[in-house]
Structures are given as C-alpha cells and as structure tokens.
C-alpha cells in the first residue's frame, strides 16, 4: 500500500493510487490508441472527432502517468497498416500529429517528460519529421518519464529492419560467414 499520494491527483485517482502496491507498479506501460472511430460513431460524430478525443485522452494519461512517476510510457499511435485508410483520414492524422506535437511540448516540459519515437520515421511526411525532431529536441533535457510514440510502426517491420541492419553491419565488417544471431544481438538492433 502507498502511504504518500503524489500531488495533483483527483480524489478518485488518489483513492485508487493509495490501494496500489508500490513494489508491483509497472515501470513501463504501453497503450494502443484504439476505439477513436467507435467513440465518434456512438455520438454520431465524424471519425476525426474521435481522433481529437484520442488526443485529449493522451493528455490526461501523460499528466497522470508522470504524477505517479511512471518511468516510461509507449503510445502506439499510427501503424504501418494505417496507411491503408482513406487518404483524407491519414492526411488528417498527420496534420493532427503536427499540431499535437507543437501544442503539447509545454505540457511535456511542465511534467518533465522526454519524448522519443519508434517506427519507420524516415517514411513519414517531411513536415511531420521536422516537427518530431523539434519536439524531441525541446524535451531532450527532461529527466522524468520517457514517452515513446510509435509512428509508422509495425512489429514485423521492426523485425525486418533489425535483421537488415544486422546483415548490413556484418557485411561491412568482413562478411556474413561468422555471423551468429542470438537474442542479445537482435535486441541491440530493435528500435
Ligand atoms: C485508432 O482508432 C487510432 C488511430 C489509428 C490514430 C491515432 C493517432 C492520432 C490521434 C494522431 C495523434 C497522435 C498522438 C500521439 C496523440 P480507430 O480509428 O482505429 O478507432 P476504431 O478502432 O474505433 O475504428
């Protein structure tokens, strides 16, 4: 049981927090952003309204997670498969992401959150990549929670990229003959 409850929690959050066992609190929580479309459909709103609501939910998650001193949070925000959605929706999401990064940096700094990314970042629109680099740099000195955004991410894509880098490095260093693939090597080459 927690004896000291962090400042800034609502009464309900504080009550729940007090019941948690600090020894068993996870260090890293990953969230899949899902259900935005369903949230909007239930309210007879367009899907993009659901995505906006998803952004608001992320804001609450950041505040709470940093207040309870969680070490790391990963948000699966846009997968490689998401490009199959209508162009209007993917363009909206890219624009939303740019706005999000610009608007939320002050909140991240206020909560000492450092921003990082995983995924095939180089394939994202250049304007999005620029804003991402800016936001990462703006939060680089923060020492609290690490927030990783998975963008243009796929589990299989990550494995493919890891194996390609492993083979490339081996080829540059005398060839593939002596290459031994083990867990540590694969792990070192993951995003
Ligand atoms: C899934 O909901 C959500 C997405 C595919 C996009 C989420 C990304 C953003 C809102 C961009 C902003 C990014 C951040 C990091 C805040 P869905 O459309 O699959 O919903 P459904 O499952 O109900 O159809």
82 carries an active-site annotation: yes
Higher-confidence residue of 126 and 24: namely: 126
The whole-angstrom separation of Cα 9 and Cα 2 is 14
Task: Report residue 36's pLDDT band, with 50, 70 and 90 as the boundaries.
Answer: very high
- Catalytic entry in 36, 82, 109, 152: 82
CB 97 less than 6 A from any atom of ligand 1: yes
Do 59 and 100 form a contact (C-beta atoms < 8 A)? Answer: no
pLDDT one-digit tens code per residue, 87-122: 999 999 999 999 999 999 999 999 999 999 999 999
The torsion angles phi and psi of 33, rounded to 5 degrees, stand at: -75, 110
Per-residue pLDDT band at 3 (split at 50, 70, 90): low
pLDDT in tens, 135-160: 999 999 999 999 999 999 999 999 99
> Phi then psi for 77, rounded to 5 degrees?
-100, -35
Specify the DSSP class assigned to residue 140: T
**Of ligand 1's atoms, which has the minimum distance to the CA of residue 104?**
16
pLDDT of 8 over the 80 cut: yes
| Average pLDDT over every residue of 184-190 | 94
- Percent over 90 (pLDDT), the chain: 83
Q: How much is the pTM?
A: 0.91
Instruction: Tell me which residue has its CA closest to atom 18 in ligand 1.
Output: 37
CA-proximal residue: ligand 1, atom 22 (nearest): 35
Is residue 152 in contact with ligand 1, taking CB distance under 6 Å?
no
Does any ligand 1 atom lie closer than 6 A to the CB of residue 151? no
CA of 38 to the centre of ligand 1 (A): 10
Strand order of the β-sheet with 114-118 is 28-32, 72-79, 146-153, 114-118
Q: Return the percentage of the chain with pLDDT > 70, whole number.
A: 98
Tell me what the pLDDT averaged over the chain comes to: 94
Q: How far apart are CA 119 and CA 151, in angstroms?
A: 5
Instruction: State how far the Cα of 70 lies from the Cα of 28, in Å rounded to an integer.
Output: 7
């Amino acid at each position: 049981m927690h004896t000291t409850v962090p400042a800034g929690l609502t009464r309900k959050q504080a009550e729940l927090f007090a019941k948690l066992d600090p020894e068993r609190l996870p260090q890293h929580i990953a969230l899949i952003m899902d259900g935005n479309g369903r949230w909007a459909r239930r309210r007879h709103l367009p899907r993009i309204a659901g995505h906006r609501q998803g952004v608001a939910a992320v804001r609450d998650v950041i505040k709470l997670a940093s207040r309870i001193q969680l070490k790391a949070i990963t948000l699966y925000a846009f997968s490689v498969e998401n490009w199959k959605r209508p162009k209007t929706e993917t363009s909206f999401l890219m624009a939303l992401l740019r706005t999000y990064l610009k608007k939320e940096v002050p909140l991240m700094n206020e909560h000492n959150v450092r921003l990082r990314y995983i995924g095939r970042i180089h394939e994202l629109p250049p304007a999005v990549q620029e804003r991402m680099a800016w936001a990462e740099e703006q939060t680089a000195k923060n020492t609290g929670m690490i927030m990783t955004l998975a963008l243009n991410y796929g589990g299989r894509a990550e494995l493919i990229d890891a194996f390609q880098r492993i083979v490339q490095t081996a080829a540059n260093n005398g060839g593939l003959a002596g290459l031994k693939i083990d867990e540590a090597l694969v792990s070192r080459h993951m995003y």
